[in-house]
Structure 1
């Protein structure tokens, strides 16, 4: 699906900003060394841009005044060697979050009040870049498009002594959870839970099931627990039940 360069609807603006976020997230995590190398303090004022194709670039600010889009934080390269690398990445992440929201509401300023609120809910489905970079991602706000608060809680996989087992794709022996699976018989079953923020499937064990309110309590291999809204999880296709 192509990303509109001049989005107008809530969904188009969300798609536009989500693609830019993917680029920024990549720069601040898996490609952090490349980012740091591109931010030499000997260069002029530099900005970190997330692109609509999911890539990122460190470049000078736009020359036109006013620019086509709000500008990211200027001069991120000058602080690179003046603090711990993790602190520098966290600082850049904060400003990148601010830039993403400024871009979203730059396009969303012509939306109606309710539409702007809906746009914010969609954006807030994902943890902030700062939360991801610092490992402080604790919660997810709302299911995109549902308009209802999500019961999913973003756990910190690195907060316990054991690392959470994760993979890029679910086990071939598994299948997506369905509504007909929701019963007490799920207790003790193993499954995999998908997190869109890092695009990984995490192994969990189902500790309890609430058949009436369609909920479940699961435990990650790291020891972390999470309460799930099973109807939401099924709707999103985010749980793969490992077959016996």
Structure 2
């Protein structure tokens, strides 16, 4: 595993490392799950699940050096394998893997400034977590309450002085089980169906939802918008 270096100090490089390790772990817990399950023998010593920058995964003993070169994954995942259902065990490994991926990314980003750390987390947060992939969860948009004119919880945040202010709605604000009943959401620009793998943004005026790419809004840009108006609403206001 690589340590901190000048070639791995930028946001893009660290995110590339994160994405590769994440892809490897997801493969271990989904496509290669039988092989992974077999390697986690409870009769063996403490084992860890590693995801490597070349998108390969490995079940192995923890690093011997103290402190380790990088933060270590959860120790002893094999001991719980036969004490719970396979689904619950895989979910547990997935949660710990998410924690490890974030810790490695921010360890590698120790020299980043505040804005760079924020951008790195935003890039990481755009992708579903390992836990969400393994448990087949998907992000859904918050729906305003029928008996209230207030914005959904996703549309409110606190300012530095503690006062609440309205903010645009983001489609990745909450998560529900895949089998929950929700009406289909279509992009107000291209008409495409909602997908949890893409960034969406909701208009604060007409409350229609759009692919971020369709209205040329990125997650980073959305953070700086106090109130979002879609192109049609912006044109109406200008008339």
CA change 1:124–1:149 in 2 (3 A) is farther
Mapped to 1, the partners of 2:91 and 2:124 lie a distance apart of: 19
1:82-101 superposed Cα distances (whole Å, 9 cap, x missing partner): 00000000110111011001
Q: Is the CA contact 1:4–1:16 (under 8 Å) kept in the aligned structure 2?
A: no
Match of 1:26 in 2: 27
1:232 and 2:213 aligned = yes
**Kept after mapping to 1: 8 A contact 2:95/2:130:** yes
Larger radius of gyration: 2
The corresponding residue for 1:65 is 66
What secondary structure does 1:58 align onto?
strand
Offset from partner CA, 1:37-59 (integer Å, 9 cap, x none): 11011111100001111121101
- Secondary structure class of the residue paired with 1:15: helix
**TM-score, reference length from structure 1:** 0.62
Offset at 1:110?
1.2
SS of the equivalent of 1:81 reads helix
> Hey, what's the Cα distance between the residues in 2 that align with 1:14 and 1:111?
13
Contact 2:48 2:74 in 1 (8 A): yes
Q: TM-score, normalised by structure 2?
A: 0.63
Cα distance in 1 for residues equivalent to 2:70 and 2:3 = 14
Give the CA deviation at 1:9: 0.7
Residues matched between the structures, number: 184
**Contact 1:138–1:155 (CA under 8 A) maintained in structure 2:** yes
1:159 aligns with 2:179: yes
Structure 2: give runs of 5+ residues left out of the alignment.
142-153, 155-166, 218-239
Residue equivalent to 1:97: 98
Secondary structure at 1:57's aligned position in 2?
strand
Partner of 2:126: 125
Determine if the alignment matches structure 1 residue 75 to structure 2 residue 76. yes
Question: RMSD value over aligned CA atoms?
Answer: 3.7
Instruction: Give the 5 Å matches for 1:34-53.
Output: 34-53=35-54
Give runs of aligned pairs for residues 3-22 of structure 1, distance below 5 A.
6=5, 7-22=8-23
Q: 1:108-154 CA deviation, whole Å, 9 max, x = no partner?
A: 1111112111111111111221122223332599xxxxxx9784448
**Aligned partners of 1:113 and 1:65: how far apart in 2?**
29
In structure 2, the partner of 1:219 is none
Mark the CA change 1:88 to 1:149 in structure 2 (over 3 Å): closer, same or farther: farther
Equivalent positions of 1:216-227 (< 5 A) are: none
Q: How does 1:117-196 map to 2 (within 5 A)?
A: 117-138=118-139, 151-153=170-172, 158-159=178-179, 182=189, 196=197
Task: Please give the alpha-carbon distance, in whole angstroms, between the structure 2 residues aligned to 1:18 and 1:39.
Answer: 24
Q: Secondary structure at the match of 1:105?
A: helix
Contact 2:128–2:197 (Cα < 8 Å) also in 1: no
